[in-house]
Amino acid sequence: MQENKNISFGHNEFNIQGKVKGAMASFFKRRKKSIQISKNEEPGSGQEKKKEETGPMQAGKSEESSAGKSGEASQKQPDALYTSLAANLDKIKRKTGNSPDVVIRPIKVGGAQAELETAVVYVKGLVDDQSIHDFLIESLMNNAELQKELSPEKAMKTIKDDVVAIGGIKSVKKWDDLFADLMSGNALILIDGSEEALMASTQGGQRRSVQEPTTNVAIRGSKESFTESLETNQAMVRRIINNPDLWVESMNLGKMTKTSVSIMYINGIAKKEIVDEVRTRLKQIDIDSILESGYIEQLIEDQTMTTFPTVYHTERPDAVAGNLLEGRVAVFVNGTPFVLLAPAVFIQFFQSVEDYYARFDISTAIRFLRVLIFFISLVGPAVYIAATTFHQEMIPTALAIIVAAQRESSPFPAFVEAIIMEVTFEILREAGLRLPKAIGATVSIVGGLVVGQAAVQAGIVSPAMLIVVAITAIASFATPSYAIAISARLIRFLFMVSAAMFGFYGLILALIMLIVHLCSLRSFGIPYMSPLAPVIPSELGDTIVRKPLWAFGKRPQLIAAENRTREGKNQKPKPPESRGMKHYTRKEEKDET
């Protein structure tokens, strides 16, 4: 039309003709559309099917090419739902491969004269059967309003507003959204003649109930542990922090699994840059599946060439709450009880929730013990190897004689001996971990008594070596975080090699290298060794030592945002003066004067 105008400038006749053409075209469009609808009402027509078989993209193209005829292309997108119920149900069936657990329940509503076909679609097992039956199907069947004569649009509105007694309901127009919702456990309500579908949130089904934590066991503190359900997990944290500033953002990750993942943080406490960083890193994930939070952990960490965890994970809601209150960001993944916390610092892995529940002196002592434990599990066998092979003069004489006497009968050098015992122990541990509990006990007897005792009696390993290996093993179990214990387990062998080759020199160099490596790590931009290095004097009180709770003034400055005040001043308890001897006598004197 535009071209026409330009060419025939001044020729009014042509112009008018053009306008008339346009008007006629739009008139036909309307006619065609009404014809199309009436055709669609007959399921047997097969027109839709033909289009479908050529695939959605091609169907769109062919529609565009035949735009002049049908005149519908400009309105309909390839992804949109069809008007016909039968066509929609057909598409659902084909897309799900006729899987029997996708339940399609047709229901007829409307008056006797004008019956309106509807259908409820849901996936068995993913939905809560109770709410499907009571609030969806039954109310659809028995609602008086729906027994009157209704147009599809009116029926849709009535169902949405009056009939379905379920909290979350929304309308869906695209196939992608429809399938995403259907497969996550929502129920669909389709109505013949409407291009929209209603989606009622009926997620439910069998999940593991809330149980006691099995990995982060604490003697004091909440006995709840996260479950596999994302919603339950979020709710458990919300029950601890009853504050509207606790914000949640959700997304679906994994092209095949469409796993729901959500990040949780406290607005005003969490640093905006860190939240943004977590969000962008999550959004960058392009993978087919997310089966556990470990997938996410490995895809968002800062440094991949390290054995140390730079993202913390826990299954305790109170640990998540505590960390959120320090300004960290939690990442929940549906299908796993392990929630990620970022940014993580090294010293965090030596802390446990009950450190904050117990008094500070006890917590501090236990934290010192934990660092010692970590150190022993790291260098235990290495020190033994270095001392017995390179630096015998450094062992006190009496002890040196005992060790030497034991080693006399051993056919192997200390390093080989240590490697044999360490590997044996690792095998035992791995075996014990995977076996059923009943057999696990047998393994520990066979391993502990038979292998250990027999190896010493046969003279293959010296008893001193066995003691060292045993202490190391227990130490590695006593480290509160499995993630850090397992990295110590791996690095231990490196230390043993360096100690076997160069004695204490090699060991010290390896230790310095470890420190350099730890200092080079970052977790979401935060130096891993902070607040020890770079040292932040005001925060040293919550590292290896734990200052009294009433002295916790501020949140960590590298992690928390503007709202850093944790508690008011003068939080030290001030009980009434005691009736001690000193006070009593003083009062007496006062009374006399």
Q: Which residues bind other proteins (CB under 8 A)?
A: 390-391, 393-396, 502-506, 508-509, 512-513, 515-516, 519-520, 527, 529, 532-535
**313 versus 367: smaller Cβ distance to other proteins:** 367
Residue 484, CB-side half-sphere exposure with 13 Å CA sphere: 26
Say how far apart CA 463 and CA 456 lie, in whole Å. Answer: 6
Write down the least CB distance from residue 422 to other proteins, Å: 23
Q: Cβ neighbours of residue 507 under 8 Å, at least 6 residues apart?
A: 379, 382, 383, 386, 495, 498, 499
Closer by beta carbon to other proteins, 14 or else 504: 504
Q: Distance between CA atoms of 550 and 129, rounded to whole angstroms?
A: 50
CB-wise, 110 or 527, nearer to other proteins?
Answer: 527
Instruction: Give min distance, CB of 168 to other proteins, in A.
Output: 49
DSSP 165-193: --S-EEEE-BHHHHHHHHHTT-EEEEETT
Closer residue to other proteins (CB): 450 or 533: 533
Residue 22 or residue 534: which is nearer to other proteins going by CB? 534
Give the position of tokens 């008011």: 568
Task: Please state, in angstroms and rounded to a whole number, the distance separating the CA atoms of residues 341 and 59.
Answer: 46
Residue type, 532: L
Contacts 24+ apart (CB under 8 A), 515-520: 517/306, 518/308, 518/346, 520/303
Residue closer to other proteins by CB (options 508, 549) is 508
Min separation Cβ 534 and other proteins, Å: 6
Q: Which residues contact 518 (CB under 8 A, 6 or more apart)?
A: 308, 346, 528, 529
In angstroms, give the least distance from the CB of 394 to other proteins. Answer: 5
Angular region, 46: left φ>0, alpha ψ -120 to 50, beta rest: left
In the complex, minimum distance from the CB of residue 251 to other proteins, in angstroms, rounded to a whole number: 33
Rounded to a whole number of angstroms, the minimum distance from the CB of residue 505 to other proteins is: 6
C-alpha 336/C-alpha 348 separation (Å) is 22
The residue among 446 and 515 lying less far from other proteins, judged by its C-beta, is 515
Query: How far apart are CB 516 and other proteins at their closest, in Å?
Result: 5
For 305-323, letters b (16+ CB in 10 Å) and e give eeebbbbbbbbbbbbbbbb
Closest CB to other proteins among residues 398, 433:
398
Q: 10 Å Cβ neighbour count for 569?
A: 8
State the minimum distance, in angstroms, from the CB of residue 498 to other proteins.
Answer: 9
Place of tokens 């890193």: 281
